[in-house]
Amino acid sequence: MGMIEEVKKELTENIIPFWKGLRDDVHGGYYGYLSYDLALDRKAVKGCILNNRITWFFSNAYTLLKDPSLLEEAKHGYAFLREHCLDRENGGVYWSMTYDGQPEDTTKHTYNQAFCIYALSSYYEASGDKEALDEAYGLFEIIEGKCRDEGGYLEAFDREFRPASNEKLSENGVMATRTMNTLLHVFEAYTELYRVDHNEKVGNCLRWILDCFAEKMYHPALHRQEVFFDHEYQSLIDLYSYGHDIETSWLIDRGVEVLGDRAYLEKMLPITRDLAENVKKVAFDGHSLANECDRGVVNTDRIWWVQAETLIGFINAYQKDGSRRDFLEAAHAEWAFIRDHLIDRREGSEWFYAVTQEGEPDTQKRPIVEPWKCPYHNGRMCIEVIRRNVE
């Protein structure tokens, strides 16, 4: 069995059934927490990012596989999103809900607004429901009208969109006013919205973001992106996020392709090639990718989402330059590591959150499902491998 067949089997026989099993038919949406020991907490907080990503996943899985049960799951996620996650009084998307759909954390984060656009755009494509597209444009106007200033996108706000501190998207001991991660996922969301409707206002925002990546985020001398910034885009820390760089390489290539603007193809392709090349050189050990390097100290944990994005990023790099079979070989090695070590073969589980560099189980026993741990990365990896059809 080749890689594509194995990946499709993983999608259809493991990831999809697992997440179908997390459906909450009493209170809506999907359960928010499954421990490392596979104990389900039916009263755990339901992160809006988690629910939106699940809605995105089932929408795309349906678009790919045309299984009506997948569209039904997407409709279930969309109903929770529409009825509970959206603040009808002040606009925007909450950070999280209680298990029964009441606002739990009313923070309005730009990152979270973007993921809701991502889900709504894909759900519109899958279902043809124009209401979902209208909701996506409403959030687009929220981001452009309330979540940015003259310099670009800001991060966290309270329920009424007054600026708030950015603990949620700041890590490694810094407090960032702007982040590469938020910009990346606004770009990703706008790419999806533009792809399904080709609104030129959205297209112009994509161009602005690409300029920002090229001129503010990308560090050509270090062949990487900076991660956390102050208001004036001064980097706050010497941090190399390997996973975000390989994810960025293919997401920017996808956005440029969707945009169809040759000037940006010529501007961005050398950058995305450089990001992929350096990640492979610096962080890939022949079978899997390290997590990050913080002020010279490498975190060697093999995080689930980093491995998934590495597989897509390496396939994408090969597709951009067919002479680089080393990228294709690296993709095959990465899949073998995922298949043999990261997929949790215990009944009732999915993927481990992390394993060691040698593929040993996660000593920290991090949960199988939590507000960030969802089928967005590994499900998307499967969908991309199948769609790209590169063996």
pLDDT tens-digit series, residues 187-217: 999 999 999 999 999 999 999 999 999 999 9
Taking the alpha carbons at both ends of the chain, their separation in whole angstroms is: 11
Residue with tokens 């002040």: 90
Residues of the chain with pLDDT under 70: none
For residue 25, the tally of other CB atoms under 10 A from its CB is: 6
> What domains, with CATH codes, occur in the chain?
3-388 (1.50.10.10)
Q: What is the pLDDT of residue 171?
A: 87
- DSSP state for residue 219 in the 8-state scheme: E
Name, in order, each residue with C-beta under 8 angstroms of 10's C-beta and a sequence gap of 6 or more.
339, 343, 382
- DSSP state for residue 95 in the 8-state scheme: S
Q: What is the pLDDT of residue 391?
A: 87
Residue with tokens 């907080």: 45
77-116 b/e with 16+ CB inside 10 Å = b?
bbebbbebbbbeeebbbbbbbbbebeebbebbbbbbbbbb
Name, in order, each residue with C-beta under 8 angstroms of 166's C-beta and a sequence gap of 6 or more.
155, 156, 175, 176, 177, 179
pTM of the predicted model as reported, rounded to 2 decimal places: 0.98
The dihedral built from the CA positions of residue 12, 16, 18 and 21, taken in this order, carries a sign that is negative
User: Which one, of 54, 70, 56, 62, lies nearest residue 118 by Cα?
Assistant: 56
- Whether the Cβ atoms of residue 227 and residue 289 lie closer than 8 Å to each other: no
Residue with tokens 């700041």: 170
Residue with tokens 């996660």: 362
Distances in Å between the Cα of 176 and the Cα atoms of 106, 172, 237 are: 20, 10, 10
- DSSP state for residue 86 in the 8-state scheme: B
Q: For Cα atoms 141, 230, 152, give the angle at the middle one, nearest 5 degrees.
A: 25
From its phi and psi, is residue 29 left (phi > 0), alpha (psi between -120 and 50) or beta?
Answer: left
